[in-house]
Amino acid sequence: MKPISTKLSVSLCIAAVAALMAGCASHGVKNPSGVPVTHLNPDEQGFVAGTGPESQDLVTVADKMARSIVGIPQIANAATPPTIVLQPVENQTRFPINKDIFLTRIRSQLNTKAQGKVMFLARKQMEALEKERNLKREGAVTASSDPGVQEFKGADYFLTGSLQGLSTRTAAGTSDYILYDFHLIDARTSVMVWEDSAEMKKQGLEDAAYR
């Protein structure tokens, strides 16, 4: 029989070491070996998520809009492909974002999938285009056609939109609703010939330590 104090001593040593080892582990760095790069489809929600617009929303919204635009009679039945100019989207939500990314994806979808049913005008590059045309007119560079003829196309339609939001924050969490609205405006008549929208609602609650 070992004396009781020896038993106590051994037990306490084990308990102390166990407790302190646990304590040390909590001081350690999370994922000390790092996390390998995870490939995700842009339309799936990753493990990093907020309540604002994210890539899966962009993909869903842009795809829906592109499909919707290409089906309207003004485009589907047009004798010649209508020309479209992108106008900036207005962000009315509480989330600062690169809002033009929605139009970029809609344009990209239409250019790749609509088989030339619509054409987009590169108005953002007008300065460079005018400079190039002037160089051709001056004879400083070669031209494959008569540079004196006005060939820059005018817009048949303007494509624009807005992101509008409703946000709520209470002790129960944060809720964000975003309405993505896009419309096509006839440049000649100002008639809105097409409009479609998509909605997203997200809710989340942060850890109590942040409340």
Partner 1 sequence: MKSLWQPTLLAGLLTLACCAATTQQVALTGNVMVDGPNAMANGPPRDRVLWEYRTAAAAMRQGNFSLAKQYLDNALLTLGGIYGKDPNAKKARGYFHGEAKKTFIGEPYERSMAYIYRGIIYWMDGEPDNARACFRSAEFEDSDAENRQYAGDWVLPDYLDGLATMKVGGDGMDAFKRAQAAARGIKLPPYNPKANVLIFLEFGPGPTKFATGQYGEELRIRTLPPTVASAEMRVDSLKIPVVPTDDVCFQATTRGGRVMDHILGQKAVFKSTTGAAGNLALMGGLTTAAVSGDRTAQEVGLGIALAGLVGTIVSGATVPAADTRTWDNLPQYLSFACLPLPVGQHVVTVQFLDPSRRVLANLTKTIHLNITTTEHDKVVFVSDSSVTPQTL
Residues that bind partner 1 (CB under 8 A): 4-6, 8-9, 12-13, 15-17, 19-20, 23-24, 26-30, 48-52, 90-97, 99, 167, 169-171, 173-174, 204-211
Q: From the CB of 144, what's the least distance to partner 1, in Å? A: 36
Strand 90-92 and strand 157-170: pairing?
parallel
CA distance 13 to 6: 10
Q: Which is nearer to partner 1, 41 or 168 (CB)?
A: 168
Q: From the CB of 20, what's the least distance to partner 1, in Å? A: 4
Q: Residue 197: which region, alpha, beta or left (left: phi > 0; alpha: psi -120 to 50)?
A: beta
How many CA atoms are closer than 13 Å to the CA of 199, on its beta-carbon side? 4
Q: From the CB of 72, what's the least distance to partner 1, in Å? A: 26
Q: Which is nearer to partner 1, 96 or 116 (CB)?
A: 96
Q: For residue 201, what are the β-bridge partners?
A: 177
Q: From the CB of 107, what's the least distance to partner 1, in Å? A: 20
Q: Which is nearer to partner 1, 149 or 171 (CB)?
A: 171
CA distance 97 to 54: 10
